[in-house]
Structure 1
Amino acid sequence: MQFKHPEILYFLFLLVIPVLVHLFQLRRFKKEYFTNVRFLKELSMQTRKSSVIKKWLLLFTRLLLLACLIIAFAQPFFKAPDDDNKGNEMVILLDNSFSMQAKGSRGELLKRAVQDLLENTPESQRFSLITNSGAFWYTDIKSIQKELQNLPYSDIPYKPDFLLNKALAKSPNIGKDVVLITDAVNLDSKDVSKFGNRPVYAIKPEAQNIRNIAIDSVCISQTMDNFYEVKVEMSAYGTYEDAIPVALYNGKSLTAKSLVTFDTAKKSSVFTIPKKDFHGYVEVIDGSLDYDNTYFFSLSKPQKSTVTAIGDADKNKFLSRIFTEDEFNYTATPLATLDYNSLQKQDAIILNELKDIPQALITTLKDFYAKGGNICIIPAAEGSLQSLNALLSALGPVSFKPVTDGEKQITKIANNHPLFSTVFEKRVDNFQYPKVKSSYSITGNVLPILSYADQQVFLASFNNKLGNVYVFSAPINSKNTNFQNSPLVLVSFYNMAQNSGKTGISAITIGKNESLVLDVQLGKDEVLAVKNDGADFIPMQQLLNNKVKLSFGDYPEKAGNYGIFKSNEKLKDVSFNHARTESNLNLQNTAVLDDFTSVDSVATVFNDIKSERTASELWKWFVIGTLIFLVLELFIQKFVK
């Protein structure tokens, strides 16, 4: 037992007062006998014995009464079981990832968790609340009520260890009581490995319906003269027996609608749209998560790409049949008459069997590639291997090994490579594959596009997220190969020359730090802004001569269709979507939270902490004891003779 005011116990010395009074009352008197009262002797002796007993009873009663009163003022108590953590700071780690959009027994999981906090957190309780995307430090529930009610969902994964580290960095010398509120989707043991022995409570809201359909991507599956075929790729998590409606919108106008039956986990739907500007989205309705039911994308009316081929006129002839005037601004030039200043204005540059590559051209191409240009390298049979490798090393970790003679057949096509992903509906087995007579070997970190029967690469690529480099391992002139007569040549060079900023679908994933290069010149104080009716922001931008590189990072915060503006002039439509990392609700892993104290609500947390850290106050019992002994004394005075 401990005392809040132990100094008051010094007053126990006052107990000596009743003892002294008692001794004074019990002092001996000299006996004197009178003849006329001798007959009262026996009665007197009995009365004296009763009086002594009464005085001893009163003494003990008064001693106990006074002792209880003094001890009550000293406020005795028993130490709480968890008294060592009494000074801890409350830290609530709230999961606001998109999986918390799922419906539980009482509505959306996040909204129900917020309501639990608002209803059951004491108004006097100070705490810090940290979400995936923000934090409220040392606050109370009334101060952040409005912010909690409007708390947005985030595409940032829920990482409890990372959130706890933020709290520890804010106040490293203060103990922490941690409350985790999460559905544990995509959570693993590594995310909760640093909590140590501190008190941790886990609230695990569960979704009633874990089925979900997500729109994963939208791509152009086929390009026709006046139309695009747009393919919508979708994933189903769980079993769906009924057909699910899929709708295509241009702006707010419904363009097309179809039904998809998910007899397999992956399904696609194809829509045909005019070959002109399209700024809209695809939507599916599944009654589960909302964030992945809509996929925003933009299509720009095709613009002519600018292509330059550097090489001998005879060897460039086949390219003029591919890059026609209606779709390309194509020029062919020998190396001797090349205008280096014009190269930065191109979308694609083709080096067609140059025997030697000057250092000035290597420097220019390196800068061109860094700014988002596409480069195609076709080696010469008798070219300088040193200058060729000097160019490749300037662009990436790739090199050529010396040429070898021997016929090889091109037998493997990477159908999933962006160059061919929209060409073949299914694998082609009876294709008339071309052959080569002599070839180099390519080494380095490249992505194969076309390969020989011996698995060596014929055509490969690598990129810097802005531009692409395509490398052939053999000369493709008619003396060395029949590749020019293959249908692959048209598809390959056509897609190599396309500029993603001028054609194709624009759909950027938020948080993946994707970039976009635009052909625009800015003044000294001019910047480009990205905006729509509900939001706007200024992305990171880098001036590249007559181009601007935009980097979006974690912006915008909300998916949707946006425009890129120079002052009030719209330069390009662009769309943003959140990554589909939270779509599979079957990845719920509550087992990683089993080592923590599992509770149903925030109210249980506060009640448990209060009961474990509240000392047992004993002063009330001593006050009651004082009253009991006071009443007992009155009874002794009245009834004991």
Structure 2
Amino acid sequence: MQFKHPEILYFLFLLAIPILVHLFQLRRFRKEYFTNVRFLKELSMQTRKSSKIKKWLLLCVRLLLLACLIIAFAQPFFKAKGDDNKGNEMVILLDNSFSMQAKGSKGELLKRAVQDLLENTPENQQFSLITNTNTWWDTDIKSIRKELQNLNYSDVPFRPDFLLTKAQAKKPNTGKDIVMITDAVNLDFKDVSKFTGSPLYAVLPETENTNNISIDSVYISQAMDNFYEVKVDMRAYGKFEDEVPVALYNGKNLTAKTIVKFDNDKKSAAFTIPKKDFHGYVSVNDNSLAYDNTYYFSISKPEKSNVIAIGETAKNSFLARIYTDDDFNFTASELSGLDYNSLEKQDAIIVNELKEIPQSLITTLKDFYAKGGNIIIIPSGEGSLQNLNALLGSFGGSVYKPLTQNARQITKISFNHPLYQTVFEKKTDNFQYPNVKSGFTLSGNALPVLTYDDQTPFLASMSNRLGNVYVFSAPINKVNSNFQNSPLIVPTFYNMAQNNGKTGISAITIGENQSLLLDAALSKDEVLTVRNAYADFIPMQQVLNNKVKLSFGDYPEMAGNYSITKGNEVLKNISFNHARTESNLSLQNKSVLKGFTETESVGTVYSDIKSERTASELWKWFVVGTLISLLLELLIQKFVK
């Protein structure tokens, strides 16, 4: 027990006064003489005995009364359980990731959590609120009411250890009451032990339905003369008994609609659209998370890609049959007549079995690759190994090992490689695989595309996220290989020469730091802007001669269809989508919150903290004791004789 005013306890010395009065009382009994002594003596003895008991009782009661009164003024109390944390600052971590779009018994989890904060946080309570994307330091609920009501969902993962480290750095010497509001989907809390000394509370809103459908990707599965076949890949989390409608929109206009039955967790829907500009989205309705129900994408009217093959005329002849005038501007040139100035205007350069590659060409190719061009290298069996490796060294860590004359067969296709993603409807082993009579052995960090039976690459690729380098390990002329007669020859070379900026679907995932190369000439003070009807931003941009490299980082904040503009001129349509990292609502990870006290609402947290840090006041009981003592004294005076 402790006292607010312990100095008042010195008045307990006053208890000596009634004791002294009792012990040194001056009143004495006088002798009275009566004739009948026998009866009077007995009466005197009884009177003295009862009077003595009464005085002792009165002394005890008065001592108790005075002691209770003095102690009451000293205001005794028991120290609160959480008294050591009274100086703590309140830190609230609010998860606003997309999984909080799920619906609970009272609506969307995030909106309900915000309402809980607004209703149950005392107006005079100071706290810091940290979300996945925003921070409010040392504020109160009235100051941020509007911001909370307008809080948007974020594709940034909820990482409480990172957020708490930020709060710790803000006030390193201040204790903290930590309140975490999250659905715990994909929750990762690696350094929880660092904060076990702080009071930890967790409010875990529950979703009523963990079933969800996500649109994961959209791509062109087949390009016909006048139409594209567009495929939509979807994933179902949980069971869906009914058929689900899938709709395709160009702008705001409904283009096509179909239904999908999810008899397994992965399904695809196909749409056929005209081969022209498309700027729209595909959507599905699953009555669950909304952010992954829409996938925005753009298709630009196809432009011809510029391709040049450098090599002997006879060896370039098969390429002219692949790169036709319908889709390509193809040029074949021998090394002696090569116009170096024309190379920067190309989308793809094919180095076709050159016996000697000059250093000037190697330097030009290196610069071309850095600016987003595609390079295809076919080695010559008569070429210098040192010369070939000098060329490969410009693009990465791959090298050729000496030429061998043993025959090898190509036995493996990397079906998931971007070259073949839209070529095969399904994986097949029953395939007429080509072979080579002699070739180099390719080693290093290049990604295999086609592989020999000895598990070494026949064709491999490297990328800098803008351009690609495709490297063959053997000459593919008809004398050395039957690859030119293989069904693989056309899709392989066709796709290697394609410029993604001119053909294909434009759909960038926000936050993956993807880049885009755009044909545009900018003056010194000009910049490109990305905008739509609701937002605009200026991406990071680097001018590369007649091209501009755009990097988007974590922008835009909202998924949707946008346009890249130069002033008022629209240069290209582009689309952005959020990563589908929050789609699986069954990945709730409460186990990392073992050290937390789980509560139903923020109101319960404040109530618990108040009760733990409120001292037990005892002075009221001592006042009651004083009143009881006073009452006892009156009763003793009246009834004890």
Same fold (TM over 0.5): yes
Secondary structure of the residue that 2:416 maps to in structure 1? coil
Q: Return the alpha-carbon distance in structure 2 between the equivalents of residues 294 and 215 of structure 1.
A: 7
Q: Which residue of 1 aligns with 2:287?
A: 287
Contact 1:362–1:394 (CA under 8 A) maintained in structure 2: yes
- Listed as ranges, the matches of 1:345-494 within 5 Å are 345-494=345-494
Q: Return the alpha-carbon distance in structure 2 between the equivalents of residues 402 and 183 of structure 1.
A: 58
Q: Return the alpha-carbon distance in structure 2 between the equivalents of residues 245 and 596 of structure 1.
A: 42
TM-score by structure 1 length?
0.93
Does residue 561 of the first structure (1) align with residue 555 of the second (2)?
no
- Listed as ranges, the matches of 1:567-578 within 5 Å are 567-578=567-578
Q: Return the alpha-carbon distance in structure 1 between the equivalents of residues 288 and 595 of structure 2.
A: 30
Q: Return the alpha-carbon distance in structure 2 between the equivalents of residues 190 and 618 of structure 1.
A: 44
Q: Deviations over 1:257-277 (max 9, x none)?
A: 001111111110110111111
Secondary structure of the residue that 2:196 maps to in structure 1? coil
Q: Which residue of 2 aligns with 1:223?
A: 223
Give the superposition deviation at 1:342: 2.9
- Listed as ranges, the matches of 1:328-339 within 5 Å are 328-339=328-339
Contact 1:510–1:576 (CA under 8 A) maintained in structure 2: yes
Q: Deviations over 1:53-109 (max 9, x none)?
A: 555544443333232222112111111223233322222222221111112222222
Q: Which residue of 1 aligns with 2:84?
A: 84
Give the superposition deviation at 1:289: 1.0
Secondary structure of the residue that 1:406 maps to in structure 2? coil
Q: Return the alpha-carbon distance in structure 1 between the equivalents of residues 318 and 289 of structure 2.
A: 52
Contact 2:240–2:262 (CA under 8 A) maintained in structure 1: yes
Q: Which residue of 2 aligns with 1:624?
A: 624
Contact 2:308–2:349 (CA under 8 A) maintained in structure 1: yes
Contact 1:159–1:191 (CA under 8 A) maintained in structure 2: no
Give the superposition deviation at 1:174: 1.8
Q: Which residue of 2 aligns with 1:597?
A: 597
Q: Which residue of 1 aligns with 2:26?
A: 27
What residue ranges of structure 1 are gaps of 5+ in the alignment? none
Q: Return the alpha-carbon distance in structure 1 between the equivalents of residues 106 and 12 of structure 2.
A: 60
2:293 counterpart letter in structure 1:
N
Give the superposition deviation at 1:604: 2.2
Q: Return the alpha-carbon distance in structure 1 between the equivalents of residues 193 and 223 of structure 2.
A: 51
Between 1:379-388 and 1:403-412, the stretch displaced more is 403-412
Q: Which residue of 1 aligns with 2:248?
A: 248
Secondary structure of the residue that 1:394 maps to in structure 2? coil
TM-score by structure 2 length?
0.93
Secondary structure of the residue that 1:93 maps to in structure 2? strand
1:140 counterpart letter in structure 2:
D
Q: Return the alpha-carbon distance in structure 2 between the equivalents of residues 569 and 18 of structure 1.
A: 102
Does residue 10 of the first structure (1) align with residue 14 of the second (2)?
no
1:170 counterpart letter in structure 2:
K
Q: Return the alpha-carbon distance in structure 1 between the equivalents of residues 28 and 235 of structure 2.
A: 109
Q: Deviations over 1:564-622 (max 9, x none)?
A: 11122111111111111111122223233344322222222222222222211101111
Q: Deviations over 1:473-504 (max 9, x none)?
A: 11122222232233322222221111111111
Contact 2:507–2:575 (CA under 8 A) maintained in structure 1: yes
1:290 counterpart letter in structure 2:
A
1:453 counterpart letter in structure 2:
D
- Listed as ranges, the matches of 1:205-216 within 5 Å are 205-216=205-216
| TM-aligned CA distance change 1:229 to 1:35, over 3 Å | closer
Give the superposition deviation at 1:39: 13
Q: Return the alpha-carbon distance in structure 2 between the equivalents of residues 41 and 189 of structure 1.
A: 92
Q: Return the alpha-carbon distance in structure 1 between the equivalents of residues 210 and 114 of structure 2.
A: 21
Between 1:586-595 and 1:412-421, the stretch displaced more is 586-595
Q: Which residue of 2 aligns with 1:95?
A: 95
Q: Return the alpha-carbon distance in structure 2 between the equivalents of residues 455 and 33 of structure 1.
A: 134
1:200 counterpart letter in structure 2:
L
1:274 counterpart letter in structure 2:
P
Q: Deviations over 1:518-561 (max 9, x none)?
A: 11122222221111111111112222222211111111111111
Q: Return the alpha-carbon distance in structure 2 between the equivalents of residues 428 and 65 of structure 1.
A: 99
2:241 counterpart letter in structure 1:
E
Q: Deviations over 1:186-241 (max 9, x none)?
A: 23564745443432222222222111111010000001111111000011111222
Give the superposition deviation at 1:296: 0.4
| TM-aligned CA distance change 1:72 to 1:398, over 3 Å | same
Q: Which residue of 2 aligns with 1:497?
A: 497
Q: Which residue of 2 aligns with 1:75?
A: 75
2:66 counterpart letter in structure 1:
L
Q: Return the alpha-carbon distance in structure 2 between the equivalents of residues 574 and 619 of structure 1.
A: 73
Q: Which residue of 2 aligns with 1:511?
A: 511
Q: Which residue of 2 aligns with 1:137?
A: 137
Task: Give the aligned CA root-mean-square deviation in angstroms.
Answer: 2.6
| TM-aligned CA distance change 1:566 to 1:439, over 3 Å | same
Q: Which residue of 1 aligns with 2:259?
A: 259
Q: Which residue of 1 aligns with 2:179?
A: 179
Secondary structure of the residue that 2:289 maps to in structure 1? coil
Give the superposition deviation at 1:398: 0.7
Q: Return the alpha-carbon distance in structure 2 between the equivalents of residues 236 and 191 of structure 1.
A: 33
2:266 counterpart letter in structure 1:
K
Q: Return the alpha-carbon distance in structure 2 between the equivalents of residues 30 and 189 of structure 1.
A: 86
2:294 counterpart letter in structure 1:
T
Does residue 147 of the first structure (1) align with residue 147 of the second (2)?
yes
Q: Return the alpha-carbon distance in structure 1 between the equivalents of residues 567 and 483 of structure 2.
A: 48
| TM-aligned CA distance change 1:298 to 1:605, over 3 Å | same
Give the superposition deviation at 1:634: 4.2
Give the superposition deviation at 1:48: 6.9
Q: Return the alpha-carbon distance in structure 2 between the equivalents of residues 68 and 29 of structure 1.
A: 32
1:91 counterpart letter in structure 2:
V
Give the superposition deviation at 1:44: 8.2
| TM-aligned CA distance change 1:53 to 1:432, over 3 Å | closer
1:457 counterpart letter in structure 2:
P
Q: Deviations over 1:276-295 (max 9, x none)?
A: 11000000011111111100
Contact 1:161–1:193 (CA under 8 A) maintained in structure 2: no
Q: Return the alpha-carbon distance in structure 2 between the equivalents of residues 47 and 208 of structure 1.
A: 83
Q: Return the alpha-carbon distance in structure 2 between the equivalents of residues 545 and 223 of structure 1.
A: 32
Paired residues in the alignment total 640
1:555 counterpart letter in structure 2:
Y
Q: Return the alpha-carbon distance in structure 1 between the equivalents of residues 302 and 507 of structure 2.
A: 16
2:416 counterpart letter in structure 1:
N
Contact 1:101–1:290 (CA under 8 A) maintained in structure 2: yes
1:567 counterpart letter in structure 2:
G
Q: Return the alpha-carbon distance in structure 1 between the equivalents of residues 48 and 29 of structure 2.
A: 14
1:80 counterpart letter in structure 2:
A
Q: Which residue of 2 aligns with 1:529?
A: 529
Give the superposition deviation at 1:393: 1.5
Give the superposition deviation at 1:33: 7.6
Q: Report % sequence identity.
A: 73
Give the superposition deviation at 1:144: 2.1
Q: Which residue of 2 aligns with 1:168?
A: 168
Q: Return the alpha-carbon distance in structure 1 between the equivalents of residues 191 and 297 of structure 2.
A: 34
Q: Return the alpha-carbon distance in structure 1 between the equivalents of residues 284 and 461 of structure 2.
A: 35
Give the superposition deviation at 1:22: 5.0
Q: Return the alpha-carbon distance in structure 2 between the equivalents of residues 418 and 128 of structure 1.
A: 46
Secondary structure of the residue that 2:410 maps to in structure 1? strand
Q: Deviations over 1:393-423 (max 9, x none)?
A: 1211111111111222333322221112111
What residue ranges of structure 2 are gaps of 5+ in the alignment? none
Secondary structure of the residue that 1:367 maps to in structure 2? helix
- Listed as ranges, the matches of 1:194-213 within 5 Å are 194-213=194-213
Q: Which residue of 2 aligns with 1:539?
A: 539
Secondary structure of the residue that 2:63 maps to in structure 1? helix
Between 1:564-573 and 1:64-73, the stretch displaced more is 64-73
Secondary structure of the residue that 1:365 maps to in structure 2? helix
Give the superposition deviation at 1:375: 0.7
Contact 1:160–1:191 (CA under 8 A) maintained in structure 2: no
Contact 1:62–1:629 (CA under 8 A) maintained in structure 2: yes
Q: Return the alpha-carbon distance in structure 2 between the equivalents of residues 281 and 436 of structure 1.
A: 45
